[in-house]
Amino acid sequence: MKLPRLTINEAHTHLAAGEISAVELTEAALERIQAVEDDVKAYLTLTPEAALAQARAADERRAAGEDTPLLGVPLAIKDLLCTKDVRTTCGSRILERFVPPYDATAVARLKAAGAVLLGKTNTDEFAMGSSTENSAYFTTHNPWDLSRVPGGSSGGSAAAVVADECLGALGTDTGGSVRQPASLCGVVGLKPTYGRVSRYGLIAFASSLDQVGVLAKDVTDAAILLQVIAGHDARDSTSLDVPVPDYPAALVGDVQGVRVGVPKEYFIEGMQPEVEAAVRAAVDRLADLGAQVVEVTLPHTGYALPVYYLVAPAEASANLARYDGVRYTVRMGDGGLDEMYRSTRGRGFGPEVKRRIMLGTYALSAGYYDAYYLKAQKVRTLVKADFDAAFEQVDVIVAPTCPTTAFRIGEKTDDPLQMYLSDVFTLSMNLAGICGLSVPCGFDADHLPIGLQVMGPALGEEQALRVAYAYEQATDWHTRRPSLGNGS
């Protein structure tokens, strides 16, 4: 049995039966990383000694009678989440040496559950990007075709999961950054409802949009991970104080009578034909399984992009003001105070980050606030209202995750707007604060994965998971892996 290929759920079964130990599983994952990391480049920081120590502790806990789903399971964490005593860079040079003195709540919950943390995965700088090419360190390669991007900004996590370099991972999703890389890498990527998972320790990009999400090999694993990280946190005043249901129990495998909405605005010109074909075939599959397919309309879909690219950069311009050379390790400039600010930020931030800070600053500035930021916030109300209305008619909404499959490294880096367009199908969900996941639904002629998005209303994770699971179990896309390294 190839240990790193296991899902979290499979690993748990073998661990519980005493067939494997957490140490063996972790060693196998570390060996796998050794074998393929030069090609994939998913990790910014690896923590093998700490991981093995955690694995030994997990084995001890299991020997003492504990048996929980993540005990001893090796996972990866996107480098946007604070990990105590482990360097956290956000993919930026401005945090090159930053070592957080605390764990993000989502990380702390994984650790309390006995998970083993293998390291920190690559990300577009401060989560700003759709390809992981904006990482100040290096670009991660898509394991299905190393000349292509894994998507972004959680490209490192998505690539690590599909390459079996971990059994699951945390990512973050502000405009699609968990779902889009999941789609491009052929894994499951789930964005919870805004407020479902604590943002404490999630280094802020856009505070009204950011959510911690999960990347997993299948829907069952995604439900297991969500179960552990979800829930109210007194340290995040935007976290919802509502009970957490049993997510794995929602995976009933049946969608008889479930109303599935298909939004006509999500099938656009310029979309890759194979993507449209695969998604429509998936909808037909759901109908075969007993779902009731209904066409719905989300009329303001075409405005989501400008709304997002005004609201998110505006919030980012405020959140990134703290990186000024005063507190977070990196300081540049050999003049006075002002020189320190400008130099540190001018040289410490990469081009996309600077572009968005400028866009946000402009949108908020005197004379332009009404026309840009306020306008965008008003249209955001309309985007959210579209979903509220649609969810009165249907239980879930199903759509493509990304208009194309993985593009080539370097293909979109000259035109920022082109890059932004790859998020058209994911942005609205963050603006509305609803939940959803991307699941694999096919491959194109170049053997590149295609993703199906299943969206649920706010706090509707159970129905989204249920529909996604039923579809997944009626297909075998989720069992496919890229051929990498020494014969996987």
Partner 1 sequence: MKLSRDEVQHIAELARLALSDEEQALYQEQLSAILEYFERLQELDTEAIPPTATVLPLRSVMRSDEARVSLAREDILANAPDAERGCFKVPAVLE
Position among 114, 195, 248, 350 found at the interface with partner 1 (CB under 8 A) = 195
Residues 236-295 that bind partner 1 (CB under 8 A): 237-238, 240
Residue 379 binds to partner 1 (criterion: CB under 8 A): yes
Position among 380, 412, 466, 478 found at the interface with partner 1 (CB under 8 A) = 380
C-beta of 421: minimal distance to partner 1 in Å? Answer: 10
The dihedral formed by the CA atoms of 179, 182, 188 and 193, expressed in degrees to the nearest 10:
-20
Position among 56, 61, 342, 481 found at the interface with partner 1 (CB under 8 A) = 342
C-beta of 157: minimal distance to partner 1 in Å? Answer: 24
SS percent in the chain: helix, strand, coil, step 5: 45, 15, 40
Structure letter (DSSP) for residue 197: B
Tell me how many degrees the CA angle 66-69-74 measures, rounded to the nearest 5: 105
Residue 328 binds to partner 1 (criterion: CB under 8 A): yes
C-beta of 101: minimal distance to partner 1 in Å? Answer: 4
271 closest CA partner among 431, 425, 420, 455: 425
- What is the pairing mode between strands 449-456 and 435-443? antiparallel
Position among 98, 137, 205, 471 found at the interface with partner 1 (CB under 8 A) = 98
C-beta of 456: minimal distance to partner 1 in Å? Answer: 14
Residue 361 binds to partner 1 (criterion: CB under 8 A): yes
Q: Which stretch binds partner 1 (CB under 8 A): 15-23, 99-107, 440-448, 478-486?
A: 99-107
Q: Are 92 and 344 in contact (CB under 8 A)?
A: no
Residue 325 binds to partner 1 (criterion: CB under 8 A): yes
Q: Which residues contact 285 (CB under 8 A, 6 or more apart)?
A: 471, 474, 475
Measured between alpha carbons, how far is 240 from 211 in angstroms, rounded to an integer? Answer: 12
Residues 406-465 that bind partner 1 (CB under 8 A): 416-417, 431-433, 458
Beta carbon nearer to partner 1, 30 or 104: 104
Q: Are 165 and 4 in contact (CB under 8 A)?
A: yes
DSSP reduced 3-state for 20: coil
Cα separations (Å) of 258 from 46, 366, 390, 470? 43, 49, 14, 11
> Annotated catalytic sites, by residue?
78, 153, 177
Residue 205 binds to partner 1 (criterion: CB under 8 A): no
Position among 247, 372, 425, 471 found at the interface with partner 1 (CB under 8 A) = 372
Query: What are the two backbone dihedrals, phi and then psi, of residue 284, each rounded to the nearest 5 degrees?
Result: -60, -40
Q: Report the interface residues with partner 1, using CB under 8 A.
A: 97-99, 101-102, 194-195, 208, 234, 237-238, 240, 300, 302-303, 306-307, 309-310, 317, 321, 324-331, 335-343, 345-347, 349, 351, 354-355, 357-359, 361-362, 365, 371-372, 374-382, 384, 416-417, 431-433, 458
